[in-house]
Each structure stands twice: as structure tokens, then as C-alpha cells.
Amino acid sequence: MTKQVFVGRPEPFAAGLWISSAMPKTPAGEPTRKDRMIIIRDDSGNQMDLVRENARIGVQFWGSTKAEASDLAQLGRGLMNDMVGGPIKRIRNVLRPVFIEDVQPMFYATFELIVKGSKL
């Protein structure tokens, strides 16, 4: 999931998102939080053949409220399909967004991507 799929979205909860593979940091390097964040983690996967792999990614959708985090998770889940193309051949949501108790409302989902590279 990239920032580009959220650019220009009319939903207020999609504005000003922090999208990264890591939590934001203060200027001193300490972890911090934003009101709305999407954190994408590479959860590995398996090689299918010489040029294809099954990449699994975990996505955390954080909001300032549970409703906002849920809306963000549902939008993100829907926008994942916009990423099919180029090396990404297929995307499958293997764990629907589920609510996780934390100090800030967060939903977690897992996706599998069939990614095709090229022989070297």
C-alpha cells in the first residue's frame, strides 16, 4: 500500500495520513504517534517458483477514535485492489481488519500478494 492510493481521497479521515513501515519518531528519535497512521510490515512469505513469490504483509490502521480507525481500515482494504498491476499479480485479504486493544484505536489486517519478478 502506498501513499498514492490515498492522495485526493474525499474522506476526512484519509487526510494527513502517516503511511510508513515504521512508527513516526520525534526529532530526538523517540517513537511517537500520529492521529491517523497506516503502518505496513513485511511478514515474509514463500517463493512459489523462479520468478514468483507469495508476499504476506501486515497492515495496522490507527485512528484517533475506533470509528475512524475502522473507516480507515475498510478504505485501505478496498484500495488494496488498486495496487494490482505491474509486478503485483494478485492481492488477497487473508485476515480481515480486526480491532486490537491498544493505547490508540487500531485495526490489523493481513494481505497476501502474488508478486512476479524476472529471471536474472
Q: What integer pLDDT is reported at residue 119 of this predicted model?
A: 73
Indicate if the pLDDT at residue 22 is higher than 70.
Answer: yes
Q: What integer pLDDT is reported at residue 8 of this predicted model?
A: 79
pLDDT band of residue 2 (cuts 50, 70, 90) is low
Pairing state between β 88-100 and 18-20: unpaired
Q: 60-70: per-residue pLDDT in tens?
A: 999 999 999 99
Q: What integer pLDDT is reported at residue 1 of this predicted model?
A: 55
Question: Which pTM value belongs to this model?
Answer: 0.87
Average pLDDT over every residue of 1-28:
84
- One DSSP character per residue, 62-120 reads E-SSHHHHHHHHHHHHHHGGGG-BTTEEEEEEEEEEEEE-SSS-EEEEEEEEEEE----
Indicate if the pLDDT at residue 120 is higher than 80.
Answer: no
